[in-house]
A = this chain, B = another copy of it.
Amino acid sequence: MTTTDHGTIPDAEPLAAATDLATALRELIELSVVTTVAPAEVRAVAELVRGASERLAVARRPVSQLPALGGRAFDPVGGEASALALPLVMRREDDGVVGEATLGVAYEGPPTYVHGGVSALLMDSVLANAAVAAGVWGMTAHLELDYRGPLPIGQALVFRARVAETSGRKSQIVGTIALASAPDQVLVEARGLFIKPRQEKVDTYFDGITDASGERPSQSRASDATAVPEEG
């Protein structure tokens, strides 16, 4: 099992290898939409990809079993080991979180602009990051976005969020997306209500989940994935 600080050599390699694969896959996904090579060559690459799948398919975990990597390595927005993720890495700044990313053509909606739903996908994660940074973890109950201008593909974007209000198990989080070159002109504005589920709901939702070895997780292990910090 990987330690949470990834500090020991035997534990660091699975995450490093998975990250290596995700990084390679991200590039291949982007190339798959911008390549202009002949269809026969595209088909040959598809065959190569199927061969790669066969090698990974020989051993796999069931959906209910947590990955050995721990944490959020496979998160589809921020996970360094997720091929779907940019990844969008957030850091703390002032009273919230901030991160930068440049989106490729694979994330395109209208020609040369980011898909509107991708902005929503990213902002849900950005708001959740602000919640976690403030120690007020919850699940998304409401998400709302205003689109003031389109986000160009291939230009650095800056994502921000902060907790606006916390009351009991509920937190209101606000966030924005802007061009890194014009950070004060907000292009997308988001508001989210995150609610920390009651413990009995957490127990129901995550009943039957096992750790990486297939065992029922200990309390500390469960919180590694379902991450419910105590209310303060």
Tell me which residues across on chain B come within 8 A of A84, comparing CB atoms: 29, 84, 106-107
Which of the residues B16, B74, B111 comes within 8 Å of A105, measured between beta carbons?
B74
Contact B17 A46 (CB under 8 A): yes
Give the distance to chain B from A41, nearest Cβ to Cβ, in Å: 6
In the complex, 10 of the A-B residue pairs with CB atoms within 8 angstroms, ordered by the A residue number, are: A24-B49, A31-B60, A33-B74, A33-B82, A34-B61, A35-B56, A37-B55, A37-B56, A48-B52, A74-B108
> Once the chains are docked, how many angstroms separate the CA of A107 from the CA of B24?
19
A interface size (C-beta, 8 A): 94
Asked whether A89 is an interface residue with its Cβ less than 8 Å from the other chain, the reply is no
Contact B110 A120 (CB under 8 A): no
Which of the residues B23, B37, B82 comes within 8 Å of A58, measured between beta carbons?
B37
Nearest B residue (CB) for A116: B140
Contact A17 B35 (CB under 8 A): no
Contact A139 B120 (CB under 8 A): no
